[in-house]
A and B are shown apart, each in its own frame.
Chain A
Amino acid sequence: MIKARGLEKTYPDGTTALRDIDLTVESGEMVFIRGRSGAGKTTFFRLLVGMEVPTGGALQVNGRVMGPGSSRSLRALRRKMGVIFQDFRLIEGRTALENVELGMRVLGVTGRHMRGRSRDLLERLGLDHRLYTPVESLSWGERQRVAAARALSREPEIVLADEPTGNLDAEATARVMELLYDARARGATVLIATHAADVLAANHERTITLSEGRVVADIPATPDVGRDDHA
């Protein structure tokens, strides 16, 4: 569960990225966070991952209060997360397969299970011909899919996807979205930041709109419209 109350983030240069955010995301819920560039989506995600600390209000993720605290509890939380970073954060010099495996290795998953799951996800994302290609030789769209595979291979409790389809064509977008829905079906809480109108139009999930760091709209899901109808 994610709970924000009066959440604020102001950077040292005086820029306020988030103001007075109040929202709750229940476990197992899928939420789209929309907004233009600079609306505060990425800052919100950085706070959720613990890359930044709030400068006001409170933020709780799975019961952990985000802010200065023990690195052990932050690490434990991160191990339950699968994050697709906007800048991918792939490790250069390693192949696509190695990058996906690394996401599981840090959790202590090794061996056949790790390799099989990494291959399976990369194949589902249409990267079966790129398994052994160093990530720096991949296109942006391919890198984005590797990042998605790494995040989802960990079978996380919380998925944070920051613009996960920004560089993808329609077919690749559908594949990534399918994996995100799979994660939700498994019980994961899924937050997807996007400003892609086509993705938002095709998925009738709860959608929170951010503008200039504030929540300006929070539209609930329309459960009568099944995802198969619009995926």
Chain B
Amino acid sequence: MRDPLFFLREAAKGLSLHPGANIVSVICIALALLSLTLVVAGGTNLDHALEVTRGEAEIVVYLAEDIGLDEARALGTRLVEESGARHHNVVTPEETVDRIEALLGSDFDILEILEGFNPFTMSLEVSVDADEAALVAARARTLPGVEVVRDNEEILAPLAALANVARWLGLVASVAVAAITLILVSHIVRLGISARREEIETLRLLGASEWFVSIPFLLEGAILGGLGASACLLTLFFGGPVAYGALRTAMPFMPLVPWDHLLTGLISVTAGLGLVSGTLGAAVALRSR
């Protein structure tokens, strides 16, 4: 392409032929991309939550009633040595009660409810690598004095399933948005081709290559897709932080990906999809002319 400005001017001239239809297309593409970004943002945050939870992987080993503090420490040390766990922390029955009270509120006296009887036993909080959790748990179950072992698989499993669903949804949404953009752009470009049929014929009579004829239309498609992506990103840029803030307030326990980081990812997805599917839409129109 020896003179890219020429082709850009030609594309701009083509776009100026149907301004109304082009504006509607850009809005539709922007809305489609916006819905995609919601799915992608949801999926990214679920993945993030999964990662955070995995990073905090911990198993809890509940010991038998007759295990004292020293024995519990020894068991913890043995477990760390034999299973490759990171470290352990012994939680006494008293600490367990304190934690429950802290969780339920300061004016709540659980021992009073239990009439002075502390039913809890010694337990070990064992920090592990997420991938090693199952192995450490299995090893712990074989140790003498161990009653119950709880790992966080019960939290991780549904979270992973949810993230998986989000990933699929993201994929389906991407394909749907690409298809919508492709169809819209191909229709618009087809209109342009129809309006400029004589011009195209003249170019061919002058010996223009198919590329020479096609480039302005491909650029038209890319511009439409790019404008749709820009409109979507502007909406995200100004509306995103507000929505994200509201989400943080509503779900303070949910570990969210920092907004700036998320936006960077969304820019690449939106711009890439807008440009590629816009260009492909134009290519489809050119092929079927």
Contacts and interface: CB of A to CB of B under 8 A. Distances in A.
A152 to B, nearest CB: 13
Contacts of A75: 204, 207-209
B56 interface: no
Interface stretch (A28-36, A98-106, A183-191): A98-106
B237 interface: no
B2 interface: yes
A49 B202 CA distance: 12
Nearest to A51: B205
Interface residues of A, number: 24
B192 to A, nearest CB: 13
Contacts of A79: 206-207
B199 interface: yes
A110 B204 CA distance: 18
Contacts of B199: 91
Interface residues on B, range: 10 to 19
Given A89-B202, A91-B202, A106 B212 contact: yes
A90 B201 CA distance: 11
Interface in A39-79: 49, 51, 75-79
Interface in A89-143: 89-91, 93, 102-103, 105-108, 110-111
Contacts of B204: 75, 78
B121 to A, nearest CB: 86
A103 B13 CA distance: 18
Contacts of B2: 108, 110
> Which residue of B3, B202, B203, B209 has the most chain A CB atoms within 10 A of its CB atom?
B202
A81 interface: yes
B193 to A, nearest CB: 15
Interface in B1-42: 2-3, 6, 13
A93 B15 CA distance: 13
A83 interface: yes
A49 B208 CA distance: 13
Contacts of A107: 207
Interface of A: 49, 51, 75-81, 83, 85, 89-91, 93, 102-103, 105-108, 110-111, 154
13 contacts: A77-B207, A78-B204, A78-B205, A78-B206, A79-B206, A85-B205, A89-B198, A102-B203, A103-B206, A105-B6, A106-B203, A106-B206, A106-B209
